[in-house]
């Protein structure tokens, strides 16, 4: 027992006792409460770090269900719009309703593009704008998807190249996007592995640098850094025990937790619960004096999540954090039916919420230190099923922030021809950019050009573009303390 931590012992014991319902239930409860406690890692002083004031925050916004990006960005020139309208049928947006965008580089096929009519805020962030703080802060990364190796349509149809398992499956593709290692069991996420590398940049680790506003997720699972779950109102305390009216209950709980425990599970449960209570107090105190004046959309869970992330970034100095990784999400993107109505509302929420978040980072004066990026299960079929669209493969992603080289489309936009060179059936585009390349570009910005990404994205070397070029590099930080 002296050679392993109690945490490791519990994990090993749990694996050996999966057939015992009571022990399995206890371990599940320990893991659940641990998400509210995170893990206090040793901190090594970085007083010699010349970039002691540096901040970088990475925000993953997951669109659960599979976003139909074919209706987010649409060809608007006469020839290509006509082909779009014929292929999409009842899902086609009116040509006159599209919000024009101008890309920094012309499309190789001569296409002009417009955005969905309900995303005017994102149009303003993409295009040149009267407000220079909004100019070119949004980039589109085209036709991203899970891949094991670069893949063509002919290779897919011939079965001559390994493919990610369970394509078109919600649960599997969500995990593969978040791990970026489709050909291995899901043990950790690429955000968690990135946090493992860079946690020593922080001046304190009582509160984890990996904070989720959307519950448990695979993206933030690390080997050292545990995700810390909070709600849109902040830290999640113990109901019925806090406050003046509950002081007796709280003291009784403390007395129980501080009793000597001979049972290993009881002792670990008490330790984790005590740490969760302490972390709740730390976070509540850090947020108490944070004010964000930027107006966020009301009655939107996504906006509430992004507002709390902005507040947590504002509290970074109190928390002793120079590196933060966040996860938030919104569901409802599985639009098999009634797509025109449901997708329109979803995109309106997305546009207004992302814009408010960016403006909040401008208010805080750290917009070039915060990058938000979207991810989703997969794209959706170009061809309609009558009232909606079905599961597909490659899709388009959004990247927003002051360090983003916005106003352009990165990667290769697919040939939007049914049964064409990029279509494996019904308008399912074979991805031309891998999740690894997309994630690698973000990870390199977050950790600096000298960051060794082999442990974060072990499959990145299989692809041609480890850096897609949509991020402006920040000043290279000193290496994290060892």
- 345-359: per-residue pLDDT in tens? 999 999 999 999 999
Structure tokens at 289: 């004096």
Look at residue 344 and tell me whether its pLDDT is greater than 90: yes
Percent of the chain with pLDDT over 70: 85
> Are the C-beta atoms of residues 73 and 113 closer than 8 Å to each other?
yes
Look at residue 342 and tell me whether its pLDDT is greater than 90: yes
Which of 245-249, 288-292, 302-306, 440-444 has the weakest average pLDDT? 245-249
Interval 271-275 mean pLDDT: 71
Model pLDDT, residue 195: 96
Compute the distance between CA of residue 230 and CA of residue 411 in angstroms, rounded to an integer.
35
Compute the distance between CA of residue 474 and CA of residue 476 in angstroms, rounded to an integer.
6
Average pLDDT, the chain: 86
- 437-475: per-residue pLDDT in tens? 999 999 999 997 678 899 999 999 999 999 999 999 886
Neighbours of 270 (CB within 10 A): 17
Compute the distance between CA of residue 432 and CA of residue 412 in angstroms, rounded to an integer.
6
Look at residue 115 and tell me whether its pLDDT is greater than 80: yes
Q: Which of 37, 67, 4 is nearest to 269 (CA)?
A: 37
- 118-172: per-residue pLDDT in tens? 999 999 999 988 788 889 999 999 999 999 999 999 999 999 999 999 999 999 9
Interval 261-290 mean pLDDT: 81
Model pLDDT, residue 242: 56
Look at residue 294 and tell me whether its pLDDT is greater than 80: yes
Look at residue 82 and tell me whether its pLDDT is greater than 50: yes
Model pLDDT, residue 330: 98
> Are the C-beta atoms of residues 481 and 49 closer than 8 Å to each other?
yes
Which of 54-68, 74-88, 232-246, 373-387 has the weakest average pLDDT? 232-246
Look at residue 335 and tell me whether its pLDDT is greater than 80: yes
Compute the distance between CA of residue 181 and CA of residue 179 in angstroms, rounded to an integer.
5
Please report which helix (H) or strand (E) contains residue 37, including its range.
none
What's 65's DSSP letter? T
| pLDDT-derived band at 177, boundaries 50, 70, 90 | very high
Interval 251-271 mean pLDDT: 77
- Apex CA 310: angle with CA 309 and CA 315, to 5°? 95
- 21-60: per-residue pLDDT in tens? 333 333 334 444 445 444 444 333 333 333 444 789 999 9
Compute the distance between CA of residue 482 and CA of residue 10 in angstroms, rounded to an integer.
28
């Amino acid at each position: 027992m002296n050679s392993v931590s109690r945490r490791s012992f519990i994990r090993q014991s749990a694996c050996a006792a999966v057939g015992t319902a009571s022990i399995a239930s206890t371990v599940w409860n320990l893991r659940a409460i641990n998400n509210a406690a995170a893990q206090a890692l040793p901190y090594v002083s970085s007083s010699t770090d010349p970039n002691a004031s540096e901040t970088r925050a990475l925000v993953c916004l997951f669109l659960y269900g599979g976003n139909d990006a074919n209706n987010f960005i649409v060809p608007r020139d006469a020839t290509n719009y006509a082909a779009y309208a014929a292929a999409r049928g009842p899902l086609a947006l009116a040509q006159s309703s599209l919000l024009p965008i101008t890309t920094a580089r012309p499309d190789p096929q001569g296409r002009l593009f417009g955005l969905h009519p309900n995303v005017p805020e994102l149009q303003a962030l993409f295009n040149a704008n009267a407000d220079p703080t909004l100019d070119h802060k949004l980039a589109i990364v085209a036709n991203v998807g899970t891949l094991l190796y670069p893949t063509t349509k002919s290779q897919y149809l011939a079965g001559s190249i390994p493919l990610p398992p369970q394509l078109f499956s919600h649960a599997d593709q969500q995990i593969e996007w978040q791990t970026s290692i489709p050909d291995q069991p899901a043990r950790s996420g690429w955000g968690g592995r990135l946090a493992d590398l860079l946690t020593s940049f922080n001046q304190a680790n009582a509160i984890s640098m990996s904070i989720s506003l959307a519950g448990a997720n695979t993206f933030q699972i690390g080997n050292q850094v545990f995700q810390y779950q909070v709600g849109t109102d902040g830290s999640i305390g113990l109901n019925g025990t806090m406050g003046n009216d509950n002081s007796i209950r709280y003291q009784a709980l403390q007395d129980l937790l501080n009793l000597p425990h001979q049972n290993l599970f009881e002792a670990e449960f008490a330790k984790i619960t005590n740490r969760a209570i302490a972390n709740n107090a730390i976070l509540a105190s850090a947020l108490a004096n944070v004010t964000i004046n930027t107006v966020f959309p009301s009655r939107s869970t996504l906006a509430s999540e992004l507002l709390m992330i902005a507040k947590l970034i504002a509290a970074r100095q109190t928390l002793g954090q120079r590196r933060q990784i966040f996860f938030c999400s919104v569901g409802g993107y599985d639009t098999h039916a009634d797509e025109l109505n449901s997708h329109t509302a979803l995109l309106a929420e997305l546009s207004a919420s992302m814009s408010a978040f960016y403006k909040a980072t401008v208010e805080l004066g750290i917009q070039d230190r915060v990058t938000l990026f979207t991810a989703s299960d997969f794209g959706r079929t170009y061809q309609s099923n009558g009232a909606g669209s079905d599961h597909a493969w490659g899709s388009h992603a959004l990247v927003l922030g002051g360090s983003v080289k916005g106003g352009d489309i990165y990667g290769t936009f697919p040939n939007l021809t049914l049964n064409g060179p990029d279509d494996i059936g019904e308008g399912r585009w074979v991805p031309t950019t891998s999740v690894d390349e997309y994630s690698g570009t973000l990870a390199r910005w977050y950790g600096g050009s000298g960051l060794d990404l082999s442990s974060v994205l072990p499959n990145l070397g299989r692809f041609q573009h480890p850096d897609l070029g949509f991020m402006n590099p920040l000043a290279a930080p000193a290496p994290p303390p060892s």
